[in-house]
Structure 1
Amino acid sequence: MMFNCFRVILVFFLVACLVLSCFALTGSWKNEEYLTGTFLINFHLNRLDLRQIINSSIGGNNKFKREDNFFKFNKREDTVPTGTTTTDSPIPSNAQNWINAATSLINDPNLVSQFDSVTSSLGVSVPTSVPTDNINGYYTTISAAIADLLNNVTPQELGIADVYSTSYWGYCRGFFQNNGTSPTQVFDNSLGRFIDENFDNSNVNYTWCSPPTPGFFFDPFEIIKSELNNTLQGISLDSQSTVINQLSQQYLSEIEILINNLTPEDLNLPGNLQNDLKLLNNITKASFALLLVTICLSFIAIVIQFMGCCCSPNNCCLSVLNFIFQLLIFIIAIISAGLVTGAFIFVRRKVNDEIGDFGIKSFLSINFYAFIWSASMAALLVVIFSLLGHCCGMFGSGRRKYRQVSAYEHKEPM
């Protein structure tokens, strides 16, 4: 009877380890409410300042390619409200002729010698210097166009969501739910817009998840480019993306300039995480693989336990193999949990230490870490009860054996 009780206890905790590990592994597999709350880490971007993340001096003073001029040179929209006047001098009627002539000669090595004759034929006076990044409302350099985009367009208008979460399988987009009440907002002078006063991770609704990919590689550079490409093409992934259709042609042009010139070196992630991305992703993949091994070995150990129930404790040849499996499951499970927890506690600390500059706040998932650590503790309890069972002689052939000895009757010789 005692033998069967120990077997039942071991099977119970092995099943718990198997199920909890599966819950941790399959979190955010797809966009379902019961899955999206199980993530590795999420990032709140409702205060995001892209000027801190993206280097606006991309390309320096490089001009646009000549074949791209028609699309790139988009005149900036007039930002002066209707009915107001400015003190700027009116532009001469023949100024556009001068701009066209000067632009056509900008790369001519004989510009200096020809400049006087050109301007005299146009009948205009030429200033001593000509701005190279903005001529009559036209941006002519890459850095100027990108700076204009980052200074005047919000991350939400660029298609960037309020919240991003990452898991073993991909990433998800989310937003804050109001639940019928208006969120408390304050005006941020540095961003020039209203933002939520506090970060709140308890009321996030995830609306879209990327296609599942085992061992997902979390790369902020690729995610930013993907979101910008969706904005440029007018692809709305969820309700948050609807604002991208309100962008003017000028800003769409500047988005394409940013996409074509952005490189991983141009990202300035909080805590200099860009240099640690490869290591962090390798650790995440190792944790994913070990958690998968934990699930497989837990299943095998359950099968072994049921096989052991059919054998006599005195003849259970699977006893040693059984205990080795149990110990191995615990070691692998605890390593998997330790790797992923340590990695993302490190990321959270790096991000949250610089929230003032970048406007990003990160949180760890209560669900995921509860699942993976509970699975490890279940594996530990399996080892403990198995060890107690061996010490009590419930498993293997080491039980005490008692043999009934009949009394010897001494007979007197006849």
Structure 2
Amino acid sequence: MVNCMTLFSAAFLSFAAVILACVACAGSTKNYNPINQIFQAQLDFTNLKVSEVLSDLSSSLSSLDDLGLPSYINVGLWSYCVGNSSKTITSCTSPSGIQQFNLQEVIYDNIDNNQAAQLITSVAQVALPDKLQNNLTYYNNLVKCSFITLIIGIVASGVNFIANVLRWVLHFAFVTWVCRFLSLIAFLSLIISAGTSTGTYVYIKKALASTYDTYGIKMSLGLNFYALVWASVAAALLNLLFLSVVRSKRYAYVRPIEEKPLV
């Protein structure tokens, strides 16, 4: 009975890890709740100092409205969403592979003013924190690592759930060890993904905070995304722990027959 409950708990936890990770992965791919509220980081441009960031633009273009820039940009794994001053999401880009963090490209892509766009293309250089520009390749490699390991974690957790269900029927040591191996891969992949994503965006947030007075760009972390991805890590860890105590075969207790003394 205990072995059966342990197997059921392990299967439930592996299924929970898959669902939680999938929802996190789907964040900011569509403009509807709650998907558009799931993102790794949010860029706040409400106090953007246009004269510093876009130093070569004419003085007549001095605000977000003049440039047509959104007030907020929510950065997801596959795409990003843009929002107005009230933080209402107005649109999301289509998923296009691994979303790289590139402030310069984000600003270029979201300027909705023909005059400003032409000036930027031909003349202006976007001045942004050196910490970000100098280490952009390094940051994006970490973002790729987070994305790839999250996908591996989702796949491993899904296959592990199927193996856990099969284990209810097939009481072999080999099946049990396959379940344990898959659960280990799922846990390691998910925790690497969560760790690299959290660490990368915390560092970028600090870099932007140190130059906020100069550029007026602020970043905050997406709590919904990190709650989901770290919850999937916890589910994967518990799944691994439950599987580590599962017995490979059913054992039946045989009560010895007491011999009656001969009279």
2:136 is matched with which residue?
277
Equivalent in 60, 77, 80 of residue 168 of structure 1: 77
Matching residue's letter, 1:387: S
2:50 is matched with which residue?
50
Cα offsets for 1:100-154 (capped at 9, x unmatched): xxxxxxxxxxxxxxxxxxxxxxxxxxxxxxxxxxxxxxxxxxxxxx3xx146532
Cα offsets for 1:314-372 (capped at 9, x unmatched): x4431111111111211111011000000000011111222222112211111000000
Task: State the aligned residue count.
Answer: 262
Instruction: State the structure with more CA Rg.
Output: 1
Change (3 A) 1:372 1:220: same
2:19 is matched with which residue?
19
Deviation, structure 1 residue 404: 4.5
1:292 is matched with which residue?
151
* Larger helix fraction of residues: 2
Matching residue's letter, 1:24: A
Q: CA–CA distance in 2 between the matches of 1:223 and 1:328?
A: 34
User: Does residue 231 of structure 1 match 2:113?
Assistant: yes
Q: CA–CA distance in 1 between the matches of 2:131 and 2:2?
A: 58
* Deviating 4+ runs (over 6 angstroms): none
**SS of the residue 1:33 aligns to:** coil
**Structure 2: which 5+ runs fail to align?**
none
Matches within 5 A, 1:345-360: 345-360=202-217
Matching residue's letter, 1:329: A
Deviation, structure 1 residue 383: 1.4
Q: CA–CA distance in 2 between the matches of 1:153 and 1:354?
A: 19
Q: CA–CA distance in 1 between the matches of 2:14 and 2:165?
A: 12
Matching residue's letter, 1:208: S
Matching residue's letter, 1:298: S
Deviation, structure 1 residue 156: 2.0
Matches within 5 A, 1:187-336: 204-228=87-111, 230-232=112-114, 252=115, 255-262=117-124, 266-270=125-129, 272-312=131-171, 315-336=172-193
Deviation, structure 1 residue 256: 2.0
Deviation, structure 1 residue 208: 1.0
Please report the TM-score for the alignment, with normalisation by the length of structure 1.
0.59
2:200 is matched with which residue?
343
Deviation, structure 1 residue 26: 0.3
Q: CA–CA distance in 2 between the matches of 1:387 and 1:255?
A: 58
Matches within 5 A, 1:56-95: 56=56
**SS of the residue 1:156 aligns to:** helix
Equivalent in 158, 166, 173 of residue 67 of structure 2: 158
**SS of the residue 2:119 aligns to:** helix
Cα offsets for 1:200-253 (capped at 9, x unmatched): xxxx2111111211212232222322334x421xxxxxxxxxxxxxxxxxxx3x
**SS of the residue 1:207 aligns to:** strand
Aligned-residue CA RMSD in angstroms? 2.4
**Structure 1: which 5+ runs fail to align?**
57-145, 178-203, 233-251, 390-394
Q: CA–CA distance in 1 between the matches of 2:91 and 2:137?
A: 25
Matching residue's letter, 2:30: K
1:6 is matched with which residue?
6
Please report the TM-score for the alignment, with normalisation by the length of structure 2.
0.90
